[in-house]
Amino acid sequence: MDRLDAMRVLVAVVDSGSLSAASRKLNSPLPSVSRKVAELEHQLGTRLLIRTSRNIQLTDAGRDYVEAVRQIIAQISDAELRASGEYETPRGELRLTVTTAFGHSIALPLAYQFLAEHPEITMNVLSTNRNIDLTEERVDVGIRIGQLSDSSLIAVKVGAIRSVTCASPDYLERKGGPESPADLADHDGVQFGTVSWNFREPTAEPSVRVHATDVSAACAATLQGLGISRLPNFMISDELRSGQLVEILKDYAPEPFPVHLVYVKQGLLPLKVRAFIDWMAPRLKERLKGCDTAEG
């Protein structure tokens, strides 16, 4: 039995909540996952997991063992990083996660500039609107929009984005502009995903003519004069500046959403992560400021 491999499988089972979930996560057959855990229990001479039809639970011995195993795996990972020289010079694979629209429009063009200046670093980009667990999925850096709920992460604030209520000049000429959020009940709307129509006072919602899960599709429909929309300022700064779109109800706008670079607390930070944070933070700040400057 490969003891270290079995340890990694056990941690995956615990973190995933079941043997089948760990099987999917590890891309390993379920019987293989179950066998490795059983072999580890046999080797230790004690039961680590209590298996039920719905999930698994740790025994007292299992809880202590998994805590120790996590430390062992972390130490091995640290030793591998030291051996590869990642604490001496920025090198190796950097795993980055960012939401799709923000990544495409703002973050990734900057990230690729960083790569051009650091030839010994490669990048694995996870573009997703799912709020993934950085530790579980072994991600080095995340770019998060909105209030942070995970206190285990170290966060560097780089700015904020605004949710802009807007419409095309053609639509406003045909339908008139709402004077207050309550007037939205008399208007057509372009709904982007699950974005809410909350304002700083009670509001009504427009009648949805277009529902789009993709922000680019929502922008296109709004530009065509199909209704009023709530769109992130970084997507429409050029259109606002040129007059293709007009911001409305600005006095009632909700609070901006903070943007952070986040990474997991650890001992000595690999230089590839430190280099990326130090390089990216000031450039993201400047880019986000530019989104609002363009609207002014």
Q: For residue 249, is it left (φ>0), alpha (ψ between -120 and 50) or beta?
A: left
User: Which pLDDT score is estimated for 293?
Assistant: 54
Query: pLDDT category, 79, cuts 50, 70, 90?
Result: confident
pTM: 0.70
**What does the pLDDT read at residue 53?**
61
- Residue 188 contacts residue 206 (beta carbons within 8 Å): yes
* Vertex 121: Cα angle to 115 and 122 (nearest 5): 80
Residue 75 φ/ψ region, left for φ over 0, alpha for ψ in the -120 to 50 degree band, beta for the rest: alpha
Q: What's the pLDDT tens digit per position in 159-176?
A: 999 999 999 999 999 999
More confident residue, 188 or 54: 188
Is 232 exposed, middle or buried (CB count within 10 Å of its CB: 0-12, 13-18, 19+)? buried
Inter-residue contact 162 to 145 (CB < 8 Å): no
**166 φ, ψ to 5°?**
-150, 165
Distances in whole angstroms, Cα of residue 158 to Cα of each of 139, 183, 232, 262, 269: 19, 35, 16, 10, 20
> Rounded mean pLDDT of 118-140?
89
Question: 81 pLDDT band (50/70/90 cuts)?
Answer: low
Average of per-residue pLDDT across 90-94: 89
Q: Which of 171, 153, 100 is nearest to 266 (CA)?
A: 153
- In order of start, what are the domains of the chain with their CATH numbers? 3-84 (1.10.10.10), 92-161+257-295 (3.40.190.10), 163-252 (3.40.190.10)
Average pLDDT over residues 122-141: 88
The pLDDT confidence band at residue 296, using thresholds 50, 70 and 90, is: very low
Per-residue pLDDT of 29-77, as tens digits, reads 888 988 988 888 888 899 888 877 667 888 988 888 888 888 887 777 7
How confident is the prediction for the chain on average, in pLDDT? Answer: 88
Q: Is pLDDT at 80 greater than 80 in this prediction?
A: no
